[in-house]
Amino acid sequence: MRAKISALMDGELEGSELAASLAAIGARDGEAYEAWCLYHIVGDALCGTRPLSEAFNARFAQRLAAEPTVLAPAAARAQPERRRWIALSAAASIAAAALVGWLSLAPQGGVGTAPVQIAQAPVRAAPPMAVAAAAKAPARVPLPREADDYLLAHQSYSLRSSLQGMMPYVRTVAVENVAGRP
């Protein structure tokens, strides 16, 4: 398993091996998790990175939980040849998040000696306000079937048509084409 984790950290795992290793780490105990932590400490030591403060994880987790949930459409299934790239970019994002966390939190706490642990990302509902805001954003929907009828009815009152003559009327034609109707 240690070899797998080592390969994972080098970005060399793909497919089911990648999934299995991540699941093993995610289980948070046993060989895989220990190896993951150990290798990171070794890596940090080699690179001369200072350990984070003891309270870093707790504060990071707290701030992360307070972040509004971003409701994004499900990502398209990644192609096998792109997996590695995605893994790398994910690593880059984590690195960026860690850097930001470091910059904003480091000055506040003392430098401890506790081993670096993976931040416990709690799966929690976003605060009510964020949910409300997200619910208020309307869905993007296709044009209504009667769009051209509405447009035509609207056009008669559009004051722009006084300046542009009949030009804006052509929009109703264009809509009809989009909708693929006769």
Partner 1 sequence: MTRAGVLLFARTLGAALAASATLAHAQTSSDALAWLRKIYQATQRLSYTGTFVYQRGDETEASRIVHVAGTGTGIEKLEALDGARREIVRTRDTVQSYLPDARTLKVDRRTVGPRDRGRGFPAMLPERLSGLARNYTVSFGDTARIAGYECREVVLRPNDRYRYGYRLWADRRSGMLLKARTFNAKGETLEQFTFTQLRIGPVPRGEVRVRPVPPGWRVEDSSVQPVDLAAEGWRVDADLPGFEKVAEVKRKLRATHLVDQVVYSDGMAAVSVFIEPMPAAAAEVHPGLSRTGATNIYTREVADHLVTVVGEAPAVSVQRIGDSVEYHPPH
Interacting residue ranges for partner 1, rule: CB under 8 A? 138-147, 149-178, 181-182
* Separation CA 52–CA 65 (nearest Å): 20
* Separation CA 15–CA 26 (nearest Å): 17
- Residues whose CB is less than 8 angstroms from the CB of residue 4 and which lie 6 or more positions away in sequence, other chains included: 13, 17, 20, 21, 24, 32
- Name which of 47 and 166 has its Cβ closer to partner 1: 166
> How big is the CA angle at 30 (ends 29 and 36), to the nearest 5 degrees?
80
Least distance (Å) between residue 148 CB and partner 1: 9
Least distance (Å) between residue 126 CB and partner 1: 21
